[in-house]
Structure 1
Amino acid sequence: MTDQPSYYSIITANVRYDNRLTDSEKLLFAEITSLSNKYGYCTARNGYFAKLYDVVKETISRRISKLAKLGYLHIEIIREGNEIKQRKMYPLTQSSVPIDAKINTPIDNSVNTPIDANVKENNTRFNNTSINRDRDETSELFQLISKELEMIQSPLKVQQLEQCIESFKTNRSEVVEVAVDYCKQNKKGINYLIKVLENWSKENISSKEEAEKKVKTKRQSSRSALDEIAEELGVGF
């Protein structure tokens, strides 16, 4: 297990006050967010969590399955042939954008003791066809931001980003992707991205072309390129 826990964990309000979850399940969710790397996912195995919380692997498997079923985890299985190489768990920390999902968790027939279908290493994948379109789009953008810029750990930033993203009524993904790419190229983080999106929303930017025009640098002899970009975006460095 190569993941290293962060200094702090996250339990967002929707997880914290969900009475369908036990305290142990909420704590596991927090641990997964703590272990999520810069790409926004955790690869820790059930054995790691079982040892950490002094329970059996099947207990951890049930807890992870429940978190996924309720929309708090997106689980991706990496296979090589019939062999599972890695499991990626993406904690979905959006405060009001839970994802509904159908899960498919087959049982390993080589196990001698029969257990329910939610147990084992959770060969789970989302069936995105049943997910609400807008929620899915916002969730994918959160994953893009976590991958390209930094892991979204602050609940306040989650809320701010969610509001910024949903303020774009048309071509939402295209506009946000341009902003994320710009921030990545200029080594800017989430705080700067929020400023960019807030200003673009106020200026009614509604297409990829309009967004790209905003980040295009125009040379001026009396000002640096960075100063000009800041002016174009409507934010300061």
Structure 2
Amino acid sequence: MNGSYYAVIPAKVLYDKDLLKYPKSILLYGHIANLSNQKGYCWATNKYFMEQLGVKSATTITDYLNLLVHKGFIKKENIYKEGTKQIEKRVISIDTGTPIPPDCNTPTTVDCNTPIPPDCKENITSINNTSKNKLGCYVEEFYENNIGMISPFIRDEIRYEIEDWNKINANEAGKIIVEALKNAIGAQARNKWKYARSVLNSWKEKNIKSLSDIQANDRQHQCEIQARYSRKNYGRKPVEEKIPDWNNQQTPKSNNKDNADIKNLIDKINKKTNSKDEQHG
């Protein structure tokens, strides 16, 4: 910040539970307050704030600004070039309920009135759909529909991954990242994006470049698991069930003499029975 000015950050901003999740959004408020001390407003660009806060993405600055607007802490208004839809400058002020003066063409003492670059155009929504590529929209929509709200930090990392995978396979970059997110959801990981990012890194290390490569890798992984299981059980002696002692007792061999005696007794009984029947007859 310019040392000739000071910035006052109210307690309602400093301790706001939503801003505390993104501390640099609070610092951004301080920079805006500093630049607005003289005129009550400023038109610093995203590039300027990126340099002051050490942020790598202009979109992150946009997200922080929109969060501050949504919370009612600042106001911003785009000024377009006459007869065009191109943004010439963006006027930002601390939201005190006082309208931004219509004559706001006097620059502040800080040299930050460079026109906003084309890739930093803004809208009232947290994400400017016109500036997002199709891949980013596809991945972020899946994330929001299946996991939850995307923080500015995760949004930046998703876009870095998109850039990397777009170089590897432009046709399937978004689908590959979504596949990693599906893995994180299926694994019930606590930090879904951290898990998905580790999966993406492992795929890069394995030189995976497409969805078909991912499927082949999954099949190979299953085969490796099965092979480890087979090796673990290889060479083990089969468990033999112990036969009870009572089952080892041999059936006594039949005695031929006893069988003959039994036959003789039966013959005698039959003869006696037949003899009695003849007498009664």
TM-score relative to the length of structure 2 = 0.37
**Structure of higher CA gyration radius:** 2
Larger fraction in helix: 2
Indicate the structure whose relative CO is greater, using CA pairs within 8 Å and at least 6 residues apart. Answer: 1
- Compute the TM-score of the two structures, normalised by the length of structure 1: 0.42
